Amino acid sequence: MADITSVTFQVLTAGTTTYTPTANMQHVLAFLVGGGAGGISGIATDEVGGGGGAGGAAIELYTAATIGASQTCAIGAAAAADVNGNDTSLGAAGALAFADGGTIGASAVGTSLGIQGAGGLGGLGFNGSLNIQGQPGFRGTIFSTTNGQGGQGGSSIFGGGGASGGSNVAGGAGGAYGSGGAGGHASGATNKVGGGGSAGIMYMLEFIATPPVTGRIMSSLAGSGGLVSHGGLAGLGGGLAG
């Protein structure tokens, strides 16, 4: 097996694309994270929303032979308020690895202390040597007639769940890749939307084995008839002897 001479990386962001390995890649450690879900909005008087779940993660080491010349991939896009997170996948239909987007939670309406809107579930990872579920979103809670707080968004493996505000405040957007948005709380007629969920990501850490320089030089010389032929050496010897 060739010696590893350098390490590099590729970062693939939201959308459907193709992963093409760097030249002389021998192994690649893939990190897939699904997109976070949006937080639930408060769209009625005295309504509170739960936070969106974070995207799951899948981590796997692949050989160059497994990846081949390239692989199709899809990276989960950001999600708006009240919308599930989007999936991230490597290979056709996620055959090599797959990371679910997070799911949305629920809202609750009322004025009594302790009424809650559920947070969304975290996404799952599949086909990795290490599969990690995203953190679920937190519950939104009503405190009184006018007070409440939307649920915080779930954090991905990178952290960054959307921050929940106070009473009658919109939810904060997810921060790090794959994190969920926070829920909103409305105590009046004006809607307070949930925060958007963050996009997923695919991070490819590549291990490169560059052929030795001396090996390329000797191969080139041998192929071009460089240096001198045996006959040439013999003739040179004769000339020296003479």
pLDDT digits (tens, 9 = 90+) for 33-70: 999 999 999 999 999 999 999 999 999 999 999 999 99
How many separate helices (H) and strands (E) can be counted in the chain? 3, 16
pLDDT recorded at residue 213 = 65
- Beta strand pairing status for 130-132 and 25-33? unpaired
Q: How far apart are the first and last CA of the chain?
A: 50
User: Could you give the CA distance from residue 234 to residue 18 in angstroms, rounded to a whole number?
Assistant: 57
pLDDT recorded at residue 238 = 44
Reported as a pLDDT band with limits 50, 70 and 90, residue 239 is: very low
pLDDT digits (tens, 9 = 90+) for 149-193: 999 999 999 999 999 988 999 999 999 999 999 999 999 889 999
pLDDT recorded at residue 2 = 76
Percent of the chain with pLDDT strictly greater than 70: 87
For the cut 90, the answer to whether the pLDDT of residue 111 exceeds it is yes
- In the chain, helix, strand, coil percent, each to 5? 15, 30, 55
User: Could you give the CA distance from residue 92 to residue 30 in angstroms, rounded to a whole number?
Assistant: 15
User: Could you give the CA distance from residue 73 to residue 95 in angstroms, rounded to a whole number?
Assistant: 10
Question: What is the average pLDDT across 212-221?
Answer: 54
pLDDT recorded at residue 189 = 87
CB of 90 closer than 8 Å to CB of 28: no
pLDDT digits (tens, 9 = 90+) for 128-140: 999 999 999 999 9
Which token pair is 133? 């579920």
User: Could you give the CA distance from residue 166 to residue 242 in angstroms, rounded to a whole number?
Assistant: 102
* 189 vs 115, residue with greater confidence: 115
pLDDT recorded at residue 235 = 42
